[in-house]
Structure 1
Amino acid sequence: MPFIQWYPGHIAKAERQLKEQLNRVDVIFEVLDARIPLASHHPDVPGWIGDKPRLVVLNRTDMIPESVRQGWLNWFAAQGETLYCTNAKQGKGIKALKKAAQAAGVQMNERRQQRGMRPRAVRAVVIGFPNVGKSALINRLLGRKVAASARRAGVTRQLQWIRISDALELLDAPGIIPAKLENQEDAVKLAICEDIGEAAYDNQQIGAALIDLLVELNFDNILSSRYQLDPQNITGEEYIESLGNSKFKGDTERATMQLLNDFRKGVMGKIPLELPQLI
């Protein structure tokens, strides 16, 4: 398995600044990638936030089948979590999220009133791995573009407070990654989905891992029909080599990037890399 380790200085700084701001925050939006909800959950978040309300947001739900989305709703419910499903690109699921944040704020303001303090806007923070769609989500909540958003990791570099309305303020935080990616299987999935920076891994190793994972999850028919190459009985590395030879004049790097981009942009179809019933 390819070894992945990525912890640039700006991530360490962002984590430190985020922890400093958390005591000013009333509610936490944790944004997960719908294709890999468990791999894209930061293991330290529950410890950081203590008993503050956390809204778990499953973003990019347009990239997984409806049956899998439903499966995750049930799975998270069994863990005692309410899941908010969104597609920030198209603005789906945003209203429910706003409502939930404001409901958390009502309780916060009731506590303030009991202490003789004046009510104020709810302060929420949006956290998650790089490139899971946090900035796109903030732009949707706001109804205009204020947060830089792009399909690559590490676009947001600093914390900024954004006023959504009189009732809601949002802290946009850069993507955060654990200091050590202990679980390399999860790290590979994050790399496949482009949720960590490309400096952390070798493209061809990750492309090969994608092939092996698709075969394991029974999506091999997609590969056969799309690239006219059967992945059964060969390794991911051999598949990429064959694809490079048959379609890209022996250029395995081009073959790799074609595969990865076809998956990342949803061109291959709605493909989850984690399934709730398998956990």
Structure 2
Amino acid sequence: MSTPPIQWYPGHIAKAERSLKEQLKRVDVVLEVRDARIPLATRHPQVQEWIASKTKVLVLNRVDMISPAVRQLWTQWFLQHGEKPYFTNAQQGEGVVAISKAAAEAGVEVNKKRSDRGLLPRPVRAVVIGFPNVGKSALINRLLKKRVVESARRAGVTKQLRWVRISDQIELLDAPGIIPWKLDDQDAAFKLAICDDIGEASYDNQRVAAALVDLLNDLIVTDPDLLPQSPLKSRYELDSAPFSGEEYLQNLADQRNKGDIERTARQMLNDFRKGLFGAIPLDLPPQPQ
């Protein structure tokens, strides 16, 4: 098969990247937002290089969609790798105060350096970056305590860069979602598609839904304690264990939608994205080899 199962068209990516890199020169703190269900798949490979020595605050959003046990595993893993993760549910405002404090603390450091050079203090400049649809705009609205940035459960709502003043201490730049030029790791690409975190992507709902079933089947075998029991069976009264993803989709379509596989795939992806299967992580911390 010549084309990868999941691809996107990088026309606007280059423009967004150029604009972001230009703005990054002016910021003090980078709030990198990832999806708590897939913290590794929503890690942009170039972010660290772009940030260089600036302060970074790692935000794992949608904490309501993973269990406390999974949250604990990720906390330990990131701390072992030298990063402190901040967990948020930006839709509900959970965890947002801690983000604001972390950004303000970075500002204290910035202004100390300014003071040492004989310069007056100024508000800390922060930027929120991450893949499309990971919850950046919802986070900004929570930080501002009012809705100034359009936020939606579809990718690609933010189109241009703009500054918003949070308080006397913090100015914030809302940036459009950034995605890598190409994603060589198709496993990660499938996870992004399942979670609807890749913006203007081109993918096949049926292949993505089948990949979700295969992924859940694997997780049920390898990490049953970290998932709800039989999530697909609980939702659809059809056990996924005996089937491959494609077979399950076909059987479910026959049972529920008169054989309409596309409709079944869309329903399944929507159900997952709304959390109707329960709290399910699709990434787990890599085990040491």
- TM-score bucket of the superposed structures, by smaller chain: over 0.9
Map of 1:260 onto structure 2:
269
1:199 Cα shift? Answer: 4.0
Q: Distance in 2 between matches of 1:188 and 1:80?
A: 28
Number of residue equivalences:
279
- RMSD, matched Cα: 1.4
Match of 2:159 in 1: 157
Q: Distance in 2 between matches of 1:132 and 1:91?
A: 14
- Please report how far the alpha carbon of residue 228 of structure 1 lies from its aligned counterpart in structure 2 after TM superposition: 1.6
Partner of 2:104: 102
Matches within 5 A, 1:224-235: 224-235=233-244
1:242 equivalent to 2:242? Answer: no
Percent identical residues:
63
- For the 8 Å contact 1:10–1:157, the answer to whether it is kept is no
Equivalences for 1:1-279 in 2 at 5 Å?
3-197=5-199, 199-218=201-220, 221-276=230-285, 278=287
Deviation at 1:108? Answer: 0.4
The answer on whether the counterparts of 2:35 and 2:60 sit within 8 Å (CA) in structure 1 is yes
User: Mean alpha-carbon deviation: is it higher for 219-228 or for 104-113?
Assistant: 219-228
Contact 1:208 1:236 in 2 (8 A): yes
TM-score, length-scaled by structure 2: 0.94
| 1:96 Cα deviation after fit | 0.8
Q: Structure 1 CA distance, aligned partners of 2:6 and 2:128?
A: 25
2: distance between equivalents of 1:259 and 1:180? 26
Q: CA deviation at 1:12?
A: 2.0
Q: Read off the aligned partner of 2:278 and give its amino acid letter.
A: G
**Inter-CA distance 89–27: structure 2 relative to 1 (3 Å threshold):** same
Q: 2: CA distance between counterparts of 1:222 and 1:197? A: 27
Paired residue type of 1:148: E
Question: Does the 8 Å CA contact 1:192/1:210 hold for their aligned counterparts?
Answer: yes
Instruction: Please give the alpha-carbon distance, in whole angstroms, between the structure 2 residues aligned to 1:47 and 1:130.
Output: 20
Gaps of 5+ in 2: 221-226
Question: Secondary structure of 1:229's match?
Answer: coil
SS at match of 1:25: coil
Deviation per residue, 1:97-123 (Å, 9 max, x gap):
111101100110011111111110000
Q: Residue 13 of structure 1: CA displacement?
A: 1.1
Structure 1 segments unaligned to the other structure (5+ residues): none
